[in-house]
Structure 1
Amino acid sequence: MQCLDNLLLNTDSYKASHWLQYPPGTDATFFYVESRGGVHDRTVFFGLQAILKEYLAKPVTHADIDEARDLFAAHGEPFNEAGWRYIVDTHGGLLPIRIRAVPEGTVVPTHQALVTIESTDPQAYWVPSYLETLLLRLWYPVTVATISWHAKQTIRQFLERTSDDPEGQLPFKLHDFGARGVSSTESAAFGGAAHLVNFLGTDTVSGLLLARRYYHEPMAGYSIPAAEHSTITSWGREHEVDAYRNMLTQFGKPGAIVAVVSDSYDIFHAIREHWGKTLRDEVIASGATLVVRPDSGDPVDVVHQCVSMLDEAFGHTVNGKGYKVLNHVRVIQGDGINPTSIRAILERITSYGYATDNLAFGMGGALLQRLDRDTQKFALKCSAARIDGEWIDVYKDPVTDKGKSSKRGRMTLVRHREYGHFKTVPVPPEAASLEEAVKPMGFDDAMVTVWEDGRIVNDWTFAQVRALANAARL
């Protein structure tokens, strides 16, 4: 929205007054971002590059300052007009900050620094704090990527046990159905792209556009023709079988995959009579793979019944690991899907001898919407300030909640060269720059400078992000 394009207004109201609140003599500040725990014990880092390119690459203008000055005056907050004019006049409107981070796609345990933000101009020491509201929204793509990645590990475990081709099957086993359940196009874009770090299946078009615009990926995901209830029920209940036949006629080509929601009335009747008898030979003759979609009831029970009934109608082969793989047909479950139900469904069908190959999942609200900043307890905090030429530690340590204690001092993240584990370590005062941060014995710096003074320094491709995330295992 054009009226929301002003970076100076992309903040919390009280941030406008914070330049007056630092101690006299302050000329530099240092902040960091971390996940302080949460549902999962590690997170998949993703989304910072898109935020930086979208919001910080455009220079601030005097017109932006005029608008912000007038709004904050009416709103009741002081505003650092002189400070912002200085940034426009001296830096061309590009913010004098340095941002370091782990490469996107890196899987990092919680309680470790993921990003550091520091000022680079003594006259603009207050800028990192002003950006907290914007930059902390990083929690959203990181949390979506994390949920998706953990679901991927669950599916991978079952595929490795029951499939002859686990890595070939895995990329399309969890499809993003979440676009309609989020609050904005921007959320769909960030969340949809975050899921695509781990999988190739999506119906969230906005996610494709974000990956293309900010990560150089021409096509990040794929979909197939699929029916919705309206395209089935508009034929009328008495012509349900004709609706199904039309799907085969339109899309049932050799090698194609076509998904048909089949529970608008009675999923079991649809499988037993329509798919299993009336249309059985047409399904086989089409050369396509029919994916039947149930959309109601208890997911574990319904999926198991559907797989069993399709087995009765179409038969199966037994793969090299001794599990049954249905002929010509598959099942996709998109209702009630979350990480817990995925595991429960897979435990049920594999316990009855069916390979994970037979199933795919669609995830909507639990993927893109049923989460918040506290899912992984994300925080952006100041950890150091330079006052009268000396760096001091800045931290909070509330007696009422030790879980909200923050880190102290300038820091970086290092990774053990041999064992791969991460550790947040202090940057010694004698270091000329964060690039020269101390490397403990056997460790390498796990952070790189990604943004400096309004320009990107390291520009990740989506393929690089995916490779890092896929290489990590539970």
Structure 2
Amino acid sequence: MRHLDNLILDTDSYKASHWLQYPPHTDGTFFYVESRGGRYDRTLFFGLQAILKERLARPVTHADVDEAAAFFAAHGEPFNAAGWRHIVDTHGGHLPLRIRAVPEGSVVPVHHALATIESTDPQAFWLPSYVETLLLRLWYPVTVATISWHVKRMIGEFLERTSDDPDGQLSFKLHDFGARGVSSAESAGLGGAAHLVNFLGTDTIAGVLTAKAYYHEPMAGFSIPASEHSTMTSWGREREVDAYRNMLRKLGREGGLVAVVSDSYDIYHAVREHWGRTLRQEVIDSGATLVVRPDSGDPVEVVLRCLQLLDEAFGSTVNSKGFKVLHHVRVIQGDGVDPDSIRAILERVTEAGYATDNLTFGMGGGLLQKLNRDTQKFALKCSAAHVDGRWIDVYKQPVTDPGKHSKRGRLTLLRHREYGTWKTVEVPPELARVDELQPPVGWSHAMETVWENGELLRDWRFEDIRARSNAA
């Protein structure tokens, strides 16, 4: 499967002919990445560093060029073998590109340039377009991080309204259940790490390992002992209470948590009779917090009913804000969970007088899979080309879709130091480099050069990315 490691083949077929399609005497191009809108008005930038380290760190070789040449000859596309051999011979196989981007963890309003890609060798002016396919895949970790960040804001609002300890709980209120529901192990890793920018709870090990491999984080996320249906139903319906008792005895520890799926047969009977009566004292004596997991039915109705039944059995305390906090038990909802259902559940339980302290959510497909590039309308477009010795604006302006109008010129992103507002600006053509632009008074560059000619210039640590996300 060596071809999967060949960067030259990590592109779309039609890219192979694009080097022939630019105007004569083109010797430079400039591209940018943007969220052109979408579900959310702000995106959390994350994942570029992982893609750069994974896909661009290994130099291209003549063997890669040979393989690509044979492939495209059979595939029906022309191939710029001479251009790629120039990169191998002149640059040691490192791509002559400059990539600038906002620091990872930044939360930026849509319709702004988040990253730019430009050629640094006149003979490789075509290269930024060629790598669009692999670089634009950053839409995925950005979109997952964005969904997770907005859910965190939402849950945080309910905690502020209903909890005496909003800050101490928020990081564990959304747990990643998505590993089995994604299309690839790579998605589990990138998406799982993107979620961990905002939260500490996960069952997606690939996300933890991705944060370690690419962002220097030894342990980015945590989990707790929890049951699945097979470990409960293998006891049989008649011994359901024994299955629950076994969880308490084997995994219940003083000060710990243990989650038990309880809807294998009748969630309400399980909560009322098994947990609320037969095992009630054992739950209390264990010293652990029991987390009951309903896994079927209407989430809004089921969660509230479970809270009410647990309240009847274990009691609660009314906090300073007037909301009930259950004793010894909590509920985690992991079925049918997405941003909309989380809000609906929280609104219902809040109306019923229960604090958000009592709830945790597990999100799988809604977090890592039920999204696409159009969720935030991501695009990577050319905005400038150096032709006949001067920079010209490159843009599209389709009359049939104003939402697809693209930006013009060499671009950078500025941020106001006092007000925190953002502005994408065009760099004057007389400047040799984008970073030579002197921002207006009160403004500063919001992008940094993160990659140049095969060298990673900014190696962000996960803790710094989290800090930016939290500050936003």
TM bucket, shorter chain: over 0.9
Q: Distance in 2 between matches of 1:323 and 1:24?
A: 71
Partner of 1:218: 218
> Shift in Å at residue 441 of structure 1?
2.9
Deviation of the 1:311 alpha carbon? 0.3
What is the DSSP-based 3-state SS (H/G/I as helix, E as strand, rest coil) of the residue aligned with 1:413? strand
1:234 Cα deviation after fit: 0.3
Deviations along 1:91-142, whole A, 9 cap, x unmatched? Answer: 0000000000000000000000000000001111111000000000010000
Corresponding letter in the other structure for 1:39: R
Equivalent residue, structure 2, for 1:403: 403
Which residue does the alignment assign to 1:459?
459
Partner of 1:424: 424
The size of the alignment, in residue pairs, is 472
1:354 aligned partner: 354
What is the alpha-carbon distance in structure 2 between the residues aligned to residue 389 and residue 251 of structure 1?
Answer: 71
In structure 2, give the amino acid aligned to 1:319: N
**Matched residues in 1 for 2:24 and 2:438: separation?**
30
Which one is further off, 312-321 or 267-276?
312-321
CA distance in 1, matches of 2:112, 2:440: 16
8 Å contact kept, 2:303–2:345: yes
> Is 1:239–2:239 an aligned residue pair?
yes
SS in 2 for 1:144: helix
Aligned-CA RMSD value: 0.7
Counterpart position of 2:24 = 24
What's the CA shift for 1:430? 2.8
Whether the 8 Å CA contact 1:428–1:438 is kept in 2: the answer is no
The residue aligned with 1:206 is: 206
1:249 and 2:231 aligned: no
Distance 2:168 2:5 in 1: 43
1:359, distance to aligned residue in structure 2 (A): 0.2
Q: Secondary structure at the match of 2:425?
A: strand
**Superposition pairs for residues 1-40 of structure 1, below 5 Å?**
2-40=2-40
Distance 1:436 1:299 in 2: 54
Deviation at 1:459, TM superposition (A): 0.8
| Structure 2, unaligned runs of 5 or more | none
For 2:272 and 2:118, how far apart are their aligned partners in 1? 64
CA distance in 1, matches of 2:23, 2:295: 59
SS in 1 for 2:330: strand
Amino acid at match of 1:154: M
The code of the aligned residue for 1:142 comes to V
List per-residue Cα deviations over 1:258-315 (Å, max 9, x = no partner).
Answer: 0000000000000111000110000000000000000001101100000000000000
* SS of equivalent residue, structure 1 residue 254: coil
- C-alpha deviation, 1:233, in angstroms: 0.2
Amino acid at match of 1:328: H
Partner of 2:326: 326
For residues 70-101 of structure 1, the C-alpha deviation after alignment (integer angstroms, 9 at most, x for no partner) is 00000000000000001001100000000000
> 3-state SS of the aligned residue for 1:29?
strand
* Separation of aligned partners in 1, 2:429 and 2:15: 29
Q: What is the deviation of 1:428? A: 1.3
CA distance in 2, matches of 1:145, 1:41: 13
Q: Give unmatched runs, 5+ long, in structure 1.
A: none
> For the structure 1 residues 10 and 451, does the alpha-carbon distance in structure 2 shift closer, same or farther, using more than 3 Å as the test?
same
Structure 1 match to 2:373: 373
Cα distance, 1:438 vs structure 2: 3.3
Matching residue of 2:300: 300
Contact 1:427 / 1:438 at 8 angstroms: preserved in 2?
no
TM-score when scaled to structure 1? 0.99
Letter in 2 for 1:73: A
Deviation at 1:10, TM superposition (A): 0.2
- Mapped contact 1:16–1:130 kept (Cα < 8 A): yes
Is 1:280 paired with 2:280? Answer: yes
SS of alignment partner, residue 211 of structure 2: helix
The amino acid across from 1:92 in the alignment is: G
One-letter amino acid of the structure 1 residue matched with residue 153 of structure 2:
Q
Q: Give the Å deviation of 1:437.
A: 1.7
Q: Which residue is equivalent to 1:263? A: 263
- Normalised by the length of structure 2, the TM-score is 0.99
Q: Distance in 1 between matches of 2:15 and 2:3?
A: 20
